Each structure stands twice: as structure tokens, then as C-alpha cells.
Amino acid sequence: MPNYKPIDAGVELKAVASDLVGFQWDTNGVVADFILPDQPERLLRVSFDLSCVVRILDEMALSTEEDDTPEEGRVPDHFAYEVTESRFSRLQSGLWKEVNSPVAHYQFVTGWACVDVLTRATPQFSVVERKS
């Protein structure tokens, strides 16, 4: 059964009104930028500085993850979670998880997108200026 532990991103963010607007992958990890609905000139940046396995889904596709077990810890309209016992994590390469151990699963949910990240790194949250 998946267990969700809400994470504080450090800003007030109504997840249903947000969206993923940028994603960058490099040799040092990943960076994802999300809309801050109440601050249109700024973005919430979530970054990881180590190797990651990433999945980006349209939020509608999350129904494919259902495994007929209850979800523990979900909070309405919450953005960031650490997830245990997830199907996504279980189905990834055992060798990759062993080499990068200990691996955690983080999930960032908006009204239009879901970003899942498996990594040994912890998420870093920052608010950045939105470039036109």
C-alpha cells in the first residue's frame, strides 16, 4: 500500500492551480520549475543534485497507478510528498537502486502534471524569478 508523507516546500502553493513549466536534466541531477499561482512573476524550483530516475505524467494518467489498495497520507491539494511502498519505486531497476542506495521516492503533483523522482538526494526548494 502506498504511503504518502507530505513535504513542506517552504511556500504556500495550491497544487491544483499549479503546473510544471520547466524541466532540466544534467549530469548533476534534475531541476523542475512549477507555477506559483499567487506569484505569476516567480516559480517554485525543485532540484536534486544526484543521480535520479524521473517520470513525468499528465495528472490524468495517475489512475494507471491504482493497485486496489488504499493510499495513506494523501492531503487534498498538497504539492510535495515522500512516498513509500509505491508501484513506481518497486518496478525500477534493482541494480540502480542498490548502487544509489538509500533511494527515496518523491512525488510532486499539480492540477496538470505529476513528477516522480527516485534518488538518494533530498529535494531542494527555492523561489526563482520567472523569465519571459
For residue 4, pLDDT beyond 60: yes
Mean pLDDT of 43-61: 90
pLDDT in tens, 63-106: 555 555 667 898 989 999 999 999 999 999 999 999 999 999 99
For residue 59, pLDDT beyond 90: no
Q: What pLDDT was estimated at residue 119?
A: 97
Break the chain into its structural domains and give their ranges.
3-129
Considering the chain, what is the average pLDDT of its residues?
A: 91
Q: What pLDDT was estimated at residue 66?
A: 59
Task: For residues 43 and 91, give the distance between their C-alpha atoms in angstroms, rounded to a whole number.
Answer: 31
